[in-house]
C-alpha cells in the first residue's frame, strides 16, 4: 500500500488557503480515480482506492497542519508501513508559484507540517512540494500562506492539479522525473530533461589540412613546366 498524504488545515475558513494546496492535490486525485467515500479514521479523512494496480490510501489529517504527523503516523503503524510507502504533498514558499519538486528525504525547510511528519513517520519518505511563491519579506509570510489563492492563481493552479491527478499513476510507480516533466509541460514549461540542442557545426579541420586543400597552387597540365614536372615525378598516372 502507498499512502498519499495531503497537508492542510481542516475547516471551511482554510479551504482556499495556499497552505491547503496539499488537500487540494489529494482531492484532485480522488476525483480523477476510483476511491471509496471519505471516512474518518486516524484523526484524518481517508479514502481507499487503487491506482496503477496498487492499493492507495489518501489521507487528509484533521489535526491542523502542525500536528499532521500524528494522523499519518497512526495510519502507517496500523498498516505496518515504512517511510518509503509514504508520499507527502504540501506547499513550498521557496518555489515559484506552480513549480513542483519531488524527492526522497531532506530537511523540513521550516514547514511545521513536515517537522511533525519527520517526528512521527521517519524522514525517508517522498516529498512532493508545490510552489506557492514567497511574498518577498518575512513579515508577510503568515498572511501569504494563510491567505486564499487569488483569482489570477487559477491560471496555473488548476492545470497543475489536473496534471497531477491525470498522472497519479507515475507517482504510484515512483516515476518521479517523468511526473515532474508532465507537471512542467502542463504549465507551458519545458520538460526537466529537455535541453536545447547545440547547433551542428562543420567538423573542424587542422590548419595543415586546410592549407593542403585551400592554399595549394594549381599545377599546369600543359606546356614546358608540365613536361618538366612529368620528368621529375616519373609521369605517374599516365
- Confidence band of 71 (pLDDT split at 50, 70, 90): very high
Q: What per-residue confidence (pLDDT) applies to 237?
A: 46
Residue 232 and residue 149: Cα distance in Å, rounded?
A: 90
Cα 185–156–124 angle (5° rounding)?
Answer: 70
Residue 39 has pLDDT above 60, yes or no: yes
Residue 220 has pLDDT above 50, yes or no: yes
The residues that are catalytic are: 19
Quick count: other Cβ atoms within 10 Å of Cβ 181? 19
CB contact at 8 A, 8 and 138: no
Q: What per-residue confidence (pLDDT) applies to 45?
A: 96
pLDDT in tens, 166-212: 999 999 999 999 999 999 999 886 555 444 445 554 555 544 444 44
Provide CB contacts within 8 A for 234, sequence distance 6+.
Answer: none
- Confidence band of 106 (pLDDT split at 50, 70, 90): confident
Residue that has been written with the C-alpha cell 513550498 in this structure: 92
Q: Of the candidates 105, 124, 126, 227, which has an alpha carbon nearest to the alpha carbon of residue 170?
A: 126
Q: 2-187 belongs to which homologous superfamily?
A: Peptidyl-tRNA hydrolase (3.40.50.1470)
pLDDT in tens, 135-178: 888 899 999 999 999 999 999 999 999 999 999 999 999 999 99
Question: Would the pTM of this model clear 0.75, i.e. be above it?
Answer: yes
Q: What per-residue confidence (pLDDT) applies to 50?
A: 94
64 belongs to an annotated ligand binding site = yes
215 belongs to an annotated ligand binding site = no
Provide CB contacts within 8 A for 88, sequence distance 6+.
Answer: 5, 7, 22, 72, 113, 114, 117, 125, 126, 127, 128
Residue that has been written with the C-alpha cell 520538460 in this structure: 191
Residue 175 and residue 170: Cα distance in Å, rounded?
A: 5
14 belongs to an annotated ligand binding site = yes
Residue 228 has pLDDT above 90, yes or no: no
Amino acid at each position: 500500500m502507498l499512502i498519499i498524504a495531503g497537508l492542510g488545515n481542516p475547516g471551511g475558513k482554510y479551504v482556499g488557503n495556499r497552505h491547503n494546496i496539499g488537500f487540494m492535490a489529494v482531492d484532485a486525485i480522488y476525483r480523477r480515480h476510483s476511491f471509496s467515500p471519505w471516512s474518518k479514521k486516524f484523526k484524518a479523512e481517508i479514502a481507499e482506492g487503487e491506482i496503477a494496480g496498487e492499493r492507495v490510501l489518501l489521507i487528509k489529517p484533521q489535526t491542523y497542519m502542525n500536528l499532521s504527523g500524528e494522523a499519518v503516523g497512526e495510519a502507517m503503524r496500523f498498516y505496518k508501513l515504512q517511510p518509503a510507502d509514504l508520499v507527502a504533498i504540501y506547499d513550498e514558499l521557496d518555489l515559484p508559484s506552480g513549480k513542483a519538486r519531488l524527492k526522497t528525504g531532506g530537511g523540513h525547510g521550516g514547514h511545521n507540517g513536515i517537522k511533525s511528519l519527520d517526528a512521527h513517520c521517519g524522514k525517508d519518505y517522498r516529498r512532493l512540494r508545490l510552489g506557492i511563491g514567497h511574498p518577498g519579506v518575512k513579515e508577510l509570510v503568515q498572511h501569504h500562506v494563510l491567505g486564499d489563492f487569488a483569482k489570477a492563481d487559477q491560471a496555473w493552479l488548476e492545470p497543475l492539479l489536473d496534471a497531477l491527478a491525470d498522472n497519479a499513476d507515475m507517482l504510484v510507480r515512483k516515476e518521479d522525473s517523468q511526473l515532474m516533466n508532465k507537471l512542467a509541460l502542463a504549465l507551458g514549461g519545458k520538460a526537466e530533461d529537455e535541453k536545447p540542442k547545440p547547433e551542428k557545426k562543420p567538423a573542424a579541420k587542422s590548419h595543415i589540412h586546410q592549407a593542403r586543400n585551400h592554399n595549394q597552387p594549381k599545377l599546369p597540365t600543359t606546356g614546358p613546366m608540365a613536361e618538366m614536372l612529368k620528368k621529375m615525378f616519373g609521369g605517374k598516372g599516365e
